[in-house]
Structure 1
Amino acid sequence: MREKINQIIFGHDTKSSKLFDVILLWIILFSVLIVILESIPSLNKQFASLFFYAEWAITILFTIEYILRIWSSKTPLRYIFSFWGLVDLLSILPSYLELINFGFHYLLAIRIFRLLRVFRILKLVRFNREAQKLLLALNASKYKMGVFLMAVIAIMVILGTLMYVIEGGENGFTSIPQSIYWAIVTVTTVGFGDIVPQTVLGKFLSSIAMIMGYAIIAVPTGIITVELASKKSEDKVCNHDNPDDAQYCNQCGLKF
């Protein structure tokens, strides 16, 4: 029984496991929809009891799923402390935390935990093959992205410091951290406009920062694109045993 449940819950190649995944997907989407609708004051006031019972029904289902995953897993502790194990825990924990009422002063803090239920949407990624490829690509490029991020931080500090020296406090650049904030907003082309350079040299530096922003945004896109292309080429490698005269793989259908 344990092996069969493990195959249904963790597997993806049997009819029962596929049916389990589809049902779980719809429950996740429905639960996230409830969280979103519940945040609308008029709907929350009108359908408060309906939201309450629906939320607890979903919480119980997710709790049963979480317990079955632990029970049927060959390495329970590894699952519990894995990324998906923590996501599964976050999908049920907020509802149980609401039951803990230490008094009036703690009610506001307990209400914040309700927002954590939106983490259930992360459970969707588990069933999306393309999302898995994206996660693998991000993991493969983490060192390159780390070096790039350090370079960007250094550029932001330099730009902020230069603007602090050029503009000064009278033009809104009251400190280096405030100037670094301006540099980040400018380089990312957000442009809130709460801090604006007034001098000619300051405007010239702003122009350079804005042009530089386009190049900075393009770099991580290129890094991740290369890794995604690499993962896609790996998928094309077929290791199945086939007859020597076969033109297509009898397992995956790839052309030789």
Structure 2
Amino acid sequence: MMSPLRERLYNIIFGTESPAGKRFDLILIYAIVLSVVALMMDSVVSVNERWGLAFRYFEWFFTLLFTIEYGVRIYCSPSRWLYIRSFYGIIDLLSIIPAYISLFVPGTNYLLMLRLFRVLRVFRVLKLMRYINEGNFLLRSMLQARHKILVFFMVVLVFATIFGSIMYIVEGPENGFTSIPRSVYWTIVTITTVGYGDITPQTTLGQIVASAAMLTGYSIIVVPTGILTAEFSQEIQRERNLVSCPNCGKHGHDKRASFCNRCGGAVNNPHH
């Protein structure tokens, strides 16, 4: 049985139905965004030279604010260990620890960018949790395709190694291809159409090989898209098969369907 104070704090901090709870979450999100923006600006040399001390004060103000908030969350939570071990509980802790570590290890305060994960609470505040199901759909499709994508990745790695070895032989160290690993690096940035330009082939034969690598990159870049598209289609079909009509037995209805498109009867829809 929680005390009235703990119950009130719980409704404000963990709840989003009450006006006070909504205001608290929105203020928290604004504070998180402001703290991240301040941290980003502090990393700009010209800004840091002029306003560095002010940003340090801002950083510690938000750190102390989030530390107090984390302590209050533990205090008013009905199941404290459950909150501490939860996703949000771990993120809340990670959003303040780097500041204290930076007292002993300079530079680790920039890990406070992890605070941005806390903005995910906006899904709960703005009633966007239904979109989480769409995200789960995407995740399931990617998990189903992981073996095919792994095979594709290995094939690309083999191609990159072969092209890299050829370029090392053709161009050599005098043209920047100082080793096979460095040549493989060049091949990877070439077939992925990034092309940094830090290493470029100088000989005619090398340019021909580079052209072949580029064309190969354009050819294979559509493969993972096709794999994921196929998995999306299969996942959609699997979801539709869950919606069946108890009257005529038809499967394959849209997940938003309430009635059968064959007999008009109500369907068993687990998505509703």
Q: Please state whether the residue corresponding to 2:255 is helix, strand or coil.
A: coil
Q: Distance in 1 between matches of 2:230 and 2:21?
A: 33
Q: What TM-score do the two structures reach when normalised by structure 1?
A: 0.70
Deviations 1:11-67 (A, max 9, x none): 555555443332221111111111122223444344444323322221122223333
Letter in 2 for 1:237: K
Partner of 2:109: 114
The gaps in structure 1 that reach 5 residues or longer are 101-109
From the superposition, tell whether residues 97 and 217 of structure 1 become closer, same or farther in structure 2 (CA, over 3 Å).
same
Partner of 2:185: 181
Pair 1:237 & 2:255 matched = yes
Q: Distance in 2 between matches of 1:4 and 1:227?
A: 47
Partner of 2:119: 124
From the superposition, tell whether residues 207 and 238 of structure 1 become closer, same or farther in structure 2 (CA, over 3 Å).
same
Q: Distance in 1 between matches of 2:80 and 2:175?
A: 60
Q: Distance in 1 between matches of 2:10 and 2:239?
A: 28
Q: Larger RCO: Structure 1 or Structure 2 (Cα < 8 Å, ≥ 6 residues apart)?
A: 1
Partner of 2:26: 22
Partner of 1:169: 173
Farther-moved stretch of structure 1 (132-141 vs 198-207):
132-141
The gaps in structure 2 that reach 5 residues or longer are 241-253, 259-263
Structure with the largest fraction of helix: 1
Q: What TM-score do the two structures reach when normalised by structure 2?
A: 0.66
From the superposition, tell whether residues 118 and 226 of structure 1 become closer, same or farther in structure 2 (CA, over 3 Å).
farther
Q: Distance in 1 between matches of 2:37 and 2:115?
A: 11
Partner of 1:141: 142
Pair 1:208 & 2:212 matched = yes
Q: Percent identity?
A: 44
- Aligned-residue CA RMSD (Å): 3.9
Deviations 1:191-228 (A, max 9, x none): 22232223433222211211222344434445556667
Pair 1:76 & 2:84 matched = no
Q: Is the 8 A contact 2:141 2:232 kept in 1?
A: no
From the superposition, tell whether residues 135 and 42 of structure 1 become closer, same or farther in structure 2 (CA, over 3 Å).
farther
Q: Distance in 1 between matches of 2:239 and 2:21?
A: 26
Letter in 2 for 1:124: V
Letter in 1 for 2:142: S
Q: Distance in 1 between matches of 2:27 and 2:117?
A: 16
Pair 1:59 & 2:54 matched = no
Letter in 2 for 1:44: N
Q: Please state whether the residue corresponding to 2:59 is helix, strand or coil.
A: helix
Aligned residues between the structures: 234
From the superposition, tell whether residues 222 and 69 of structure 1 become closer, same or farther in structure 2 (CA, over 3 Å).
farther
Q: Distance in 1 between matches of 2:223 and 2:110?
A: 34
From the superposition, tell whether residues 18 and 37 of structure 1 become closer, same or farther in structure 2 (CA, over 3 Å).
same
Q: How does 1:145-156 map to 2 (within 5 A)?
A: 145-156=149-160
Letter in 1 for 2:81: P
> Is the radius of gyration larger for structure 1 or structure 2?
2
From the superposition, tell whether residues 195 and 39 of structure 1 become closer, same or farther in structure 2 (CA, over 3 Å).
closer
